[in-house]
Structure 1
Amino acid sequence: MGRLKTLFTGQWGDMPLEELAEKAANWGYDGLELACWGDHFEVSRALDEPEYCQKKLDLLEKHGLDCQAISSHLVGQMVLDRNDERTDGWVPEDCRGDSEKKNAWAIEEMKRTAQAAKKLGVPVVNGFTGSSIWPLLYSFPPVTPEMIDAGFALFAERWNPILDVFGECEVRFALEVHPTEIAFDIPTARRALAAIEHREEFGFNFDPSHLHWQGIDPVRFIREFPDRIYHVHIKDAAITLDGASGILSSHLDFGDPRRGWDFRSPGHGGVDFEAIIRALNDIGYEGPLSVEWEDCGMDREYGAADAAEFVARIDFPSSGRKFDDAFNES
């Protein structure tokens, strides 16, 4: 049997988990990566209600589904961001409109998320870190090296106490390397690891789509960090540069055909998944292959079913032998 084929529930937060679990099983998935929003997985209830986690596991088992990861992208984003009104709906009412209160709440909530993951029995929490220095990406007005240094120092200051709790819970945090995060490519991923002294609790949720459209080789990322690939998203992207818009997307929303790039259902974009599977085999990755389905041009239920078939087709095992070994057999 190959790696687990799972579906990340983040883009399905409007659908009750009971309904989604039944659909996912029928589409051919082996499990779900539960988002910490909607009714899919609620951290406060996991910690406060003795039977909550078991009920979630029972629901999944009813449909023959496993769970190897939960994801807390929204909360993690607020740990480092200079938060504005866009995140007011993600926090308790008394934190709304106050960036520092959001930062403080998010730090404590991420610690609680590690504890909830332990209680559920999953080894990985995927998510974002946010970034205080992402707005400084283009160096004008001029950005000093000290300003960037301070951003990575703040990352260490705020995330080390969170990672302490992850360590106590024997759960790993997997950052989805992504624009707007402290690490969005290979050099910044190296720097993030160095900032926290390469502690084992912190690694990566490998998602090739965000690397592909930036012009970064996803396979090179895997080979650069073979011991830090804690989870894998299967998501595709298409570069659609037409000479008018670039990869900064021109303030055009997803799905707008004038964009220079957009997400695609797995197998319908430009990501070389065969090369990725070969690289994952080379590093011995045995965790889930989790479909994060995002494609504004395709019906999501059609796309989810199609993606499950795609993952089953591309996930081939390593050979374990050279093709010419047979020449030496009598």
Structure 2
Amino acid sequence: MKLGFLTACLPQLPLDEIAAWAAAHDYEALEVATWPSTGSRDFEASHIDVRAFGAREAEDVRALFDKHGLLLSSLAYYENNLHADEARRAEIADHVRANVDAAQLLGVESVGTFIGRHPGLSVKENIALAERELPPLVEYAGERGVKIIIENCVMEGWHPDGYPGNLAYSPELWEWMFDLGLYLNYDPSHLLWLGIDPVTALKPYLDRIPHAQAKDAQLDPAARNRYGFFGRTVERNDGWDSGWWRYRVPGLGDVDWRRVVDTLYEGGFTGVLSVEHEDPVWSGDVQRVTQGLEIAHRTLRPLIVG
């Protein structure tokens, strides 16, 4: 197992500066953000331009990672593959394929994305839509030796009332997506606030987890007594504002990282545990973000065999 982080937390820095910082601070891998320079997400990072990527660009990226002794663990483009707008959905699928092409050139095992959700359709209708839209992407990736990995993020901000916007948030849905040939980019933070024990959920599916993310969640049961499990309703400022929990860097929330990492080892996991930094306390500028990454490193490094 290697310790890395997702570069999306540093959208203002170029990849060479991020790689130099990671190597200097004892990180071993980077999960590289590949959003287009313009799109629908307000925190996009584009550290590799997969739309203008060929053999020369792949050689440059490999040379950069070799220089710093780093592994490029996965390409990261987490978008709504079931977007309600068909034209936008097609654009997203095209960008997933561009990521797969870049991963093939780089010799990278996986491309990360979301299932997503059409908010105007029922869950059953969304599943039927996914069963039409996603298998061609799985086939395209498989032909190029690449796995498509799905993070189990709830993406509640994609739904106007804060309900799940990514149909990959529970083991029930993991089993369905595995049947489509997809894999899991396991993240325990989302399970925690859903009331799912992250370790119990992890154990049966280790053979479908080539990559994992490390994000923590801090729960506030007293606030939940006011809002209920679904979070704020009348007082909700936006889809992300639950009112009773928030994401933290590992070590500052309620995930039991000793049990999570031990379970990964027990199941034979040899991939990368990639810190996904979305901590609102350790955000705002490069210094704060990198300090948050240092906190995550101090939490996780003692648990990972060197």
Same fold? TM cut 0.5: yes
Distance, in Å, in 1 between the alignment partners of 2:11 and 2:176 is 33
Q: CA deviation at 1:193?
A: 2.9
Distance, in Å, in 2 between the alignment partners of 1:39 and 1:158 is 25
> Percent identity, aligned pairs only?
29
Distance, in Å, in 2 between the alignment partners of 1:209 and 1:160 is 28
CA 1:135–1:313 in structure 2 vs 1: closer, same or farther (change >3 Å)?
farther
SS in 2 for 1:266: coil
Query: Is contact 1:28-1:309 (8 Å) kept?
Result: no
Distance, in Å, in 2 between the alignment partners of 1:68 and 1:131 is 26
1:268 maps to 252
SS in 2 for 1:73: coil
Query: Is contact 2:55-2:105 (8 Å) kept?
Result: no
The count of aligned residue pairs is 277
CA 1:26–1:245 in structure 2 vs 1: closer, same or farther (change >3 Å)?
farther
TM-score of the pair, normalised by structure 1:
0.78
Q: CA deviation at 1:135?
A: 5.9
1:259 maps to 243
- Is 1:167 the equivalent of 2:146? no
1:113 maps to 99
SS in 1 for 2:207: coil
**114, 119, 122: which is aligned to 1:128?**
114
- Is 1:213 the equivalent of 2:193? yes
Distance, in Å, in 2 between the alignment partners of 1:213 and 1:152 is 24
The aligned amino acid for 1:150 is E
The aligned amino acid for 2:49 is E
1:4 maps to 2
Q: CA deviation at 1:254?
A: 9.9
- Is 1:149 the equivalent of 2:124? yes
**243-252 vs 283-292, greater mean Cα deviation:** 243-252
2:266 maps to 282
1:55 maps to 60
SS in 1 for 2:94: helix
Query: Is contact 2:187-2:215 (8 Å) kept?
Result: yes
User: What does 1:186-265 align with in structure 2 at a 5 Å threshold?
Assistant: 186-194=171-179, 196=180, 199=181, 202-242=182-222, 243-250=225-232, 251-252=236-237, 259-265=243-249
Distance, in Å, in 2 between the alignment partners of 1:157 and 1:62 is 42
**302-311 vs 245-254, greater mean Cα deviation:** 245-254
**157-166 vs 302-311, greater mean Cα deviation:** 302-311
Show CA shifts across 1:107-142 (max 9, x none).
22212221111111100111212112x566xxxxxx
Distance, in Å, in 2 between the alignment partners of 1:309 and 1:7 is 13
Q: CA deviation at 1:192?
A: 2.8
Instruction: Say what the alpha-carbon RMSD is for the aligned residues.
Output: 2.1
CA 1:188–1:135 in structure 2 vs 1: closer, same or farther (change >3 Å)?
farther
Query: Is contact 1:81-1:131 (8 Å) kept?
Result: yes
Distance, in Å, in 2 between the alignment partners of 1:19 and 1:289 is 21
- Is 1:310 the equivalent of 2:299? yes
- Is 1:45 the equivalent of 2:30? no
**279-288 vs 305-314, greater mean Cα deviation:** 305-314
Show CA shifts across 1:15-51 (max 9, x none).
11122122212221012110103441111122xx431
SS in 2 for 1:182: coil
